[in-house]
């Protein structure tokens, strides 16, 4: 039995080096302490790992997360910001990578960074060219 994780049968799953972010969406919660992060990836043959970091306007890491071998091209997660007082702007960086079985170092592929204001709650969508 074949299991298909992808909605669009016309999109061919990509090799490691061709996996990209198609879209990144953010939802800032009312408390300005949590950010829901949604990502859409191109279909993939091998499950990618994703490293996500949010840095405040002072350059201090406010939140980070690592997804190991994502099994879906559509991912939604909530990140908690650990700043005592939120700053007005943040930068989210997401990096697609794969661990290499014969090498100790990971192989980095696609990376996206985006700045977003934390002054008002609500949805923010960033379309990327994949």
Task: At 108, list the tokens.
Answer: 């980095």
Range of the domain at 22: 16-119
20-61 residue pLDDT tens: 999 999 999 999 999 999 999 999 999 999 999 999 999 999
Domain count, the chain: 1
**What pLDDT was estimated at residue 129?**
57
Residue 46 lies in a domain: yes
Q: Within a domain: residue 37? A: yes
- Asked whether residue 54 is domain-assigned, the answer is yes
**Displacement of CA 120 from its chain's centroid (Å):** 21
129 in any annotated domain: no
88 domain-assigned: yes
* pLDDT digit string, tens, across residues 79-122: 999 999 999 999 999 999 998 777 778 999 999 999 999 988 89
CA distance 6 to 114: 26
Contact indicator for 54, 16 with CB cutoff of 8 Å: no
Structural domain contains residue 108: yes
Query: Is 9 a domain residue?
Result: no
In a domain, 51, yes or no: yes
This prediction has a pTM of 0.85
Provide the CATH number for the domain around residue 46.
2.60.40.10
> How much is the CA Rg of the chain, to the nearest whole Å?
16
């Amino acid at each position: 039995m074949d299991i298909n994780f992808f909605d669009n049968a016309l999109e061919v799953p990509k090799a490691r080096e061709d996996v990209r972010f198609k879209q990144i969406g953010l939802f800032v919660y009312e408390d300005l302490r949590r950010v829901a992060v949604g990502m859409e990836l191109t279909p993939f043959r091998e499950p990618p790992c994703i490293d996500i970091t949010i840095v405040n306007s002072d350059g201090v890491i406010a939140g980070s997360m690592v997804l190991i071998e994502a099994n879906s091209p559509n991912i939604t997660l909530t990140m908690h910001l650990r700043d005592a007082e939120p700053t007005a702007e943040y930068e989210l960086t997401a990096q697609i990578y794969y661990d290499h079985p014969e090498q100790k170092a990971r192989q980095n592929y696609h990376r996206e960074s985006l700045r977003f204001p934390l002054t008002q709650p609500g949805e923010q969508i960033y379309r990327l060219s994949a």
